Structure 1
């Protein structure tokens, strides 16, 4: 179909973070301005250019055929290839990926359109970068977009009406059963007085640019609750998850410090968690943010450790205090010798590096006892304690001995793992 319509071009610079990592963020900002100027020259009077965020731009062109939209996108690709940027004697050649969504003027939804162009752009990147791709909607994708758009409305209402809530899951010292701190878990209030876990709504929040507001809500309210509970429990500590969006914020440490000071919470009472995949993807920037937060006095935990292809290689660059072993190595630990070797290795590396190790998804006593034998410091999971609306004060009993674990296994077979 080549009818007259309108089009949204979603542009993402390829390998932009290499400029930031090599020459710093001011250099990246200068490159962004140069790209913006070039896009305006390329499009001229044919469309409107806007920076969408980070290294992303959008171009809106009206009253064009699909073939014309393609021509404009190809011209953008060509002009970007010719654009060279010089920083500190380094020459950077700029490439980009472009996703194009044609607009139905009779049935137009802003959020859905952005999602379509974004999907097409990601497909262009996955197919080799430095190319364009039109959005083509499958039935499954259509259902996903409708669902995500529905979440966007709910999330915006939740931000405006304070409809998020927090749950707290204890983390214990395996040798003593003493609670060391609680992980703060975000939940969304539902209409039936139940709560919704973040797996259901965070993908939509990321896609539609709502993570910044959600991160701010989480940090602000977690610190506020910590201050309230510390009046009766001065040793209480919280662990708070930070998203990629938070670590891309230039003044993350300043934002956190302002809320700590405002509520009278010492920095050492807070641990911030970052996933391994995020750390690898933004290693140079994350490294600086971690250093800044540690200088403030906070501690850092690397979550989901062990799933990355180069986990041990980059660990020495990240000055974290805790390593959280991904649950995939813990769920079947009692029955899987390979998982046991992996967990033991992580424990030994953590000990050598002066980092404490935390095992997630601990579901039963035999697993907890085996973790103690393998040298893991801390544990978290339903066997330790489920998430609650108020931080628990109940400590765990010291785990059963390895001999008792082996005896129990013989009595009940080897099927003691509880899912």
Structure 2
């Protein structure tokens, strides 16, 4: 059963006999074939076919008399599109008697089917319907073949692209890290065999993330492409150029000296320093920090990652030294030793956080007028693998540099409040002073964390004082002031630690809402023997008292110092003479007895 679309195909009836032609047309129309064209000679066939030159798929079947005037069927078939073009146009050739030789002669690019006269109308209709179905099937097969060819071509193209992407960066077209490392493996082998030198440059764009944040990822991608173009012009197609990170590039110079590498690195810095990246109405100045590592080293480079790591370390130091500069990796360089030390301590700090190697100690802060313990300062310590105690001066600076100080701050607050909650009723008067790093006051989450701990432990905020150093307080004034107000809103108090160390304290002391001022130990340690320190401490005390703030002297170590501090009017003292930092607290009576015993030197 033919579809309506199949019956709409154009059927050309080219019968030399007018009577037979009319009979054929009537039979086709009776069967539903109404899209018919009649040709009395070959010229008319050409005229009809010319109208379908650009849409041959609309043609159905040509019914043609072998004796049609001015028509050579074989030449006509050559004029028409053929099956190789996806167009199958069958001919029904009306012949008076069947001739095998004639059929072979008509073979070629088109398909020919003979119908011998006299023939029945039903025979013609069956043949027409069969050929229309066959035409559609062959066209479908052709489309499927073309689609398969297209898919195979697309797959080959995709495979080629994937093979390219396996070893190249999609954005910049540079080698990727994997491909660079494969090349470096070969270079290391050549170096071991022939002692040929090679130098790796690690290039990190300075403050790339700022442009990423301000202008968006698309602008940052465009910047990276332009930067790569600038560097390519600077290096003049030398070396293996790779992208190993979002804004990190590597350039390996085969069989190069360090001097030559330094020249190229300085040229890259200069070209980037001169380059300006413009987007909309903004113009950005781009610089880069470059680290250099050589295969020739006192310690043999065994793996590509090791060479990349050395260059990266040098690049990090270049950034720490001020950016927009070149730094050479050298194992004897003090900066590298410090960085190695930081890396060593970073693993120890992480281990201490994970395996509970930190612990708290408590040092009393004593009232100089009555010898009573006002509160205890909470101090953190670390236990080493051999159980020896490590002071915070060893690991806190590293934690601040390596971004681990936030975890330590949270740990101290958590454990200190838990400690207060665990004390028996007779010690419910105990108050603690907790040191917070300068980073903590730049992190809004710390206030919320303190509030959560206070709420869940049922500890009053008035039992906590948080200490911030003077230098940290003035480093980001607005943010610090906001955090101080948030913490004080919880009922906690604030102490300004290391007061006087920054020499700008008096200006900020009237602004920061703090309850305590802790005078820096450098003014206290030699107070008994230095009249200048006495004058400075006295002035600090007078100003603090005028502003309604209590003073605490740190590093109090001898009775004579206590006497001077009392005469000056300092409120509290803290130091080994009153008590060393200790893990355990005793009862209040023991506190008082201990304090009074120590304070006899005051009277």
The TM-score, its normalising length taken from structure 2, stands at 0.55
What is the CA distance between 1:149 and its match in structure 2? Answer: 1.7
- The SS at the match of 2:418 is helix
- The structure 1 residue matched to 2:376, chosen from 182, 196, 202, is 182
CA–CA distance in structure 2, aligned partners of residues 187 and 273 of structure 1: 17
What is the CA distance between 1:48 and its match in structure 2? Answer: 6.0
Greater RCO, 1 or 2 (C-alpha within 8 Å, sep 6+): 1
Q: 1:115 to 1:374 in 2, by over 3 A?
A: farther
Q: Confirm or deny: 8 A CA contact 2:434 2:465 kept in the other structure.
A: yes
Equivalent residue for 1:121? 319
Matched, 1:106 2:106: no
Equivalent residue for 1:34? 214
Q: Which moved more, 1:176-185 or 1:385-394?
A: 385-394
- The SS at the match of 1:201 is helix
Matched, 1:132 2:322: no
Q: What per-residue deviation string (whole Å, max 9, x for no partner) do you get for residues 225-254 of structure 1?
A: 121126441111111111122122122211
Q: What per-residue deviation string (whole Å, max 9, x for no partner) do you get for residues 147-173 of structure 1?
A: 222111111111111111111101011
What is the CA distance between 1:96 and its match in structure 2? Answer: 7.7
Which ranges of structure 1 fall in alignment gaps of 5 or more residues? Answer: 14-28, 51-58, 87-92, 126-130, 405-419
- The structure 1 residue matched to 2:559, chosen from 346, 350, 365, is 365
- The structure 2 residue matched to 1:155, chosen from 349, 352, 369, is 349
What is the CA distance between 1:139 and its match in structure 2? Answer: 3.2
Q: What per-residue deviation string (whole Å, max 9, x for no partner) do you get for residues 16-62 of structure 1?
A: xxxxxxxxxxxxx9977116645443223764665xxxxxxxx3213
- The SS at the match of 2:489 is helix
Matched, 1:331 2:516: no
CA–CA distance in structure 1, aligned partners of residues 279 and 514 of structure 2: 39
Equivalent residue for 1:306? 500
Equivalent residue for 1:315? 509
CA–CA distance in structure 1, aligned partners of residues 414 and 211 of structure 2: 33
- The SS at the match of 2:514 is coil
Aligned residue runs from structure 1 range 14-413, under 5 A: 33-34=213-214, 37=217, 38-44=219-225, 47=243, 59-65=247-253, 77=273, 98-102=288-292, 106=304, 108=306, 116-124=314-322, 131-137=324-330, 138-229=332-423, 231-392=425-586, 393=588, 394-395=591-592, 396-397=595-596, 399=599
Q: Which moved more, 1:215-224 or 1:103-112?
A: 103-112
Q: What per-residue deviation string (whole Å, max 9, x for no partner) do you get for residues 284-304 of structure 1?
A: 211111111111211111111
Equivalent residue for 2:202? 7
Q: What per-residue deviation string (whole Å, max 9, x for no partner) do you get for residues 276-330 of structure 1?
A: 1111211121111111111121111111110113111122221111111000000
Which ranges of structure 2 fall in alignment gaps of 5 or more residues? Answer: 1-195, 229-241, 254-260, 295-302
Q: What per-residue deviation string (whole Å, max 9, x for no partner) do you get for residues 52-98 of structure 1?
A: xxxxxxx3213455567666655665567868999xxxxxx876875
The TM-score, its normalising length taken from structure 1, stands at 0.78
CA–CA distance in structure 2, aligned partners of residues 204 and 292 of structure 1: 28
CA–CA distance in structure 2, aligned partners of residues 145 and 81 of structure 1: 33
- The SS at the match of 1:268 is helix
What is the CA distance between 1:101 and its match in structure 2? Answer: 2.7
CA–CA distance in structure 1, aligned partners of residues 573 and 522 of structure 2: 14
Q: 1:316 to 1:221 in 2, by over 3 A?
A: same
- The SS at the match of 2:206 is strand
What is the CA distance between 1:133 and its match in structure 2? Answer: 3.9
In the alignment of these two chains, the number of paired residues is: 369
CA–CA distance in structure 2, aligned partners of residues 208 and 112 of structure 1: 18
What is the CA distance between 1:2 and its match in structure 2? Answer: 9.6
Q: Confirm or deny: 8 A CA contact 2:317 2:327 kept in the other structure.
A: no
Equivalent residue for 1:26? none
CA–CA distance in structure 2, aligned partners of residues 171 and 342 of structure 1: 21
Q: Confirm or deny: 8 A CA contact 2:202 2:315 kept in the other structure.
A: no
CA–CA distance in structure 1, aligned partners of residues 280 and 562 of structure 2: 57
CA–CA distance in structure 2, aligned partners of residues 134 and 36 of structure 1: 30
CA–CA distance in structure 2, aligned partners of residues 305 and 84 of structure 1: 48
CA–CA distance in structure 2, aligned partners of residues 179 and 98 of structure 1: 55
Q: Which structure's CA Rg is the greater one?
A: 2
